[in-house]
Structure 1
Amino acid sequence: MDLRRGAASLDGTSPTLSDLLGLCGEAGVEVRTARLPSGWLGAYDDPRRRILLAPGLTPVEERCVLAHELGHALRMHVGTSAAAERDAERFAARLLIDPVALRAACTWARDDVELAEELGVTVDILHAYRALRGIGRDGP
């Protein structure tokens, strides 16, 4: 399967964890839980085509971190840099946030925490989406 095409088909649809795992499997990217350096929630090992997730993530964190690491795989990032991290975070934001759901939730959510919770993403993913789209607090 073409990872780019598969990911593009899920763009903005708020895919489930199962959807993301299926995409990884079809693309030949293994997903495992592993002990990672302190403060790391996930990592992409390009030579082994493997995504590593830290144990103990919440379901929302797991979905967001998997999407982020999938961004590294799709963009073929090797090593780490601020630009690669930003790119992967924006990839995850585009993939996970449904713009229609965001618009609707912006009408009633009191703050970013409540908004992110409603969308099933982390606040970091929400902020990355806003930065990508040039959206302020009041929504799209």
Structure 2
Amino acid sequence: MDVRHGAAALEGSSPTLSELVRLCGQLCVDVRITPLPAGWLGAYDHAGSQIELAPGLTPVEQRSVLAHELGHALRMDSGESAAAERAAERFAALLLVDPAAVRRAGAWVRDEDELAEELGVTVDIVRSYLAHRPLRRAA
């Protein structure tokens, strides 16, 4: 995967955590685990060219939060507005969620929590994905 070919080319590629870290490296953005303000899971510092992840995140949370913060890095914003947060979450959802996996899981999952577990992402990522690409169940 190469972020230089554009974010659209990455859509649905469902990169691993290691691949996300490599993508950040291609952008010259460092990834660190560091204490953050209460309630924050991650942050992008444009001036310092770094993404910070809160300590204690599960691997699924790390992957989901890192993809969200990568969205901020690609847009070169630090998430100061609700619109910027929605855009970063949409980027993360479209990056991490493989549409074919959603179609397969759609045949049996009962709710967003099960879908998130099946896809290896947070429920917030699933909700953002479904807001843009609703689940179509077979009749």
TM-score, normalised to structure 1, is: 0.91
2:87 aligned with 1:87:
yes
Q: Is the 8 A contact 2:103 2:135 kept in 1?
A: no
Deviation of the 1:136 alpha carbon: 4.8
Q: How many angstroms apart in 1 are the aligned matches of 2:14 and 2:61?
A: 14
Distance 1:9 1:75 in 2: 15
- Bigger Cα displacement from structure 2, 4-13 vs 123-132: 4-13
1:89-133, CA deviations, whole angstroms, 9 ceiling, x for partnerless residues?
Answer: 000000000000000001011211111100011110000011122
Structure 2, unmatched stretches of 5+, are none
Cα distance in structure 1, aligned partners of 2:136 and 2:39: 28
- On the 8 A contact 1:42/1:53 being kept in 2, the answer is yes
Q: What is residue 128 of structure 1 aligned with on the other side?
A: 128
Percent identity of equivalent pairs: 66
For the Cα contact (< 8 Å) 1:4–1:74, is it kept in 2? no
Equivalence for 1:44: 44
In structure 1, C-alpha distance between the alignment counterparts of 2:131 and 2:79, rounded to whole Å:
24
Any idea what the Cα deviations from partners look like across 1:59-96, whole Å, max 9, x if unmatched? 00000000000000001114511000000000000000
RMSD over equivalenced CA pairs, Å = 1.8
How many Å apart are 1:138 and its aligned residue?
4.3
The residue aligned with 1:65 is 65
Structure 1 residue runs of 5 or longer lacking an equivalent are none
Other structure's SS at 1:52 match: strand
State how far apart, in whole Å, the 2-side matches of 1:122 and 1:78 are: 21
